[in-house]
Amino acid sequence: MPGRSLKIFLIDGTSSGLRTAELGLSTIKALVVPRASLSNIAKRAEPQKTGVYILIGPDPNQPGQKMIYIGEGDAILPRLHAHNKDETKEFWEEVVLFVSKDENLTKSHVRFLEARLIALANESKRVIVTNGTTPSEQGKLPEADEVEMEEFIVQARLLLGTLGYDLFEPSTISKSITAKQNELEQLSHEAYPEFKYSGEGFSAKCIIDVNAGQFVVKADSLARKQEAASLQQAAKNLRGQLIANGVLIEAGQSLKFSQDYSFSSISSAAQVVSGTSINGRTAWKSGAKTYAEWQEEQIPIENENTL
């Protein structure tokens, strides 16, 4: 994928307040609104437009798990005010809304976008989607419009990831890898490396997506069912989240990955797989070579005499 430029504007001058994000040479614009700042956007243009939005907050019943609600509107602001009063949606702490700078989104467009985003969020299994229904707008747009909306979704996901929301990340990585499978078979092992980690009750494969900076544990990998007492709480929470979302499923004396799943940390992947606190840089191996050793070989070292 070619490089992209991104402009983030901190409206209030703080990293946690109102902020916008735009991609260079694109018409998409994102606005991030903390729930406490909802009253500050009444006079802004973005919430008055037709668009889609994502309510985001923690799951009160499961530490570390996020909950989202995806919606659309001819004008987004009235919908947000309604959600703010809705006692069934108390979970959300901020909202990310997406509009078009050239105002070319119609009601049909945003219904399509809403349906696709809900489907993608359910597919990712990284968050709890609180929408009661999954609308289907596939095929209800002219072909040219559908292609444009799919590109809008690609850009929205890119903005979300850059803003720190990994709501759809696993699906993106898995599809990226699937699309490249034939190509990868012709590449050297070093170009797109695979590592393994096994022990009592677990055996897993992990592909290093060097472009996306992700560590993708492959589907059908086995994780240890039991957790060591020393396992860090964050890893325990993540394992619980993956079990609840159906990414880790029962498989005899082990747990099995039902799909490819990406981690931002190699150690996090190792700890979820083994159920123990472990340094993933030395746990994952390609043959006799650890990930740490492989990575060191990829980093060019300048001749000390030139320093």
139 Rama sector, left if φ>0, alpha if ψ -120 to 50, beta otherwise: left
pLDDT score recorded for residue 211: 73
CA distance 174 to 247: 13
Give yes or no for residue 68 having a pLDDT over 80.
yes
Quick count: other Cβ atoms within 10 Å of Cβ 132?
Answer: 7
The answer on pLDDT for 129 being more than 90 is: yes
pLDDT at 114: 95
136 has pLDDT over 80: no
What whole-number distance in Å separates Cα of residue 219 and Cα of residue 247?
Answer: 9
pTM of the model: 0.77
- Please count the CA atoms within 13 angstroms of the CA of 186 that sit on its side-chain side: 3
**pLDDT tens readout for residues 185-221:** 444 444 468 999 999 999 999 998 877 778 999 999 9
pLDDT tens readout for residues 280-300: 999 999 999 999 999 888 876
What does the longest C-alpha to C-alpha distance in the chain come to?
67
The mean predicted confidence, pLDDT, of the chain is: 87
DSSP string, 290-304: EHHHHHHHHS----G
The per-residue pLDDT for range 8-17, each reduced to its tens digit, is 999 999 989 9
184 band by pLDDT with thresholds 50, 70 and 90: very low
How far is the C-alpha of 204 from the C-alpha of 20, rounded, in Å? Answer: 40
Q: How far apart are CA 172 and CA 162, in angstroms?
A: 14
Helices (H), the chain: 76-85, 107-124, 143-162, 169-179, 181-184, 233-244, 266-274, 280-283, 291-298
Sign for the pseudo-dihedral over CA of 8, 9, 12, 18: negative
Here the contacts of 247-256 (C-beta below 8 Å, separation 24 or greater) are: 247/125, 248/223, 248/272, 251/222, 253/201, 253/225, 254/201, 254/202, 254/222, 254/223, 254/224, 254/225, 255/222, 255/223, 255/224, 255/225, 256/220, 256/221, 256/222, 256/223
pLDDT tens digits, one per residue of 220-264:
999 999 999 999 998 999 999 899 889 999 999 999 999 999 998
Backbone angles phi, psi at 98, to 5 degrees: -125, 130
Structure tokens at 77: 């602001």
What are the beta bridge partners of residue 22? 7, 29
pLDDT band for position 79 (50/70/90)?
very high
Tokens standing for 136?
């289907």
**What's residue 188's pLDDT?**
41
pLDDT of residue 183: 46
CA of 261: how far to CAs of 119, 186, 275, in Å?
17, 23, 16
Report which of 39, 35, 126, 46 is spatially closest to residue 89, judged by C-alpha positions. 35
Q: Where are the domains of the chain?
A: 6-167, 181-298
Amino acid (one-letter) located at 78: P
Q: What is the pLDDT of residue 185?
A: 42
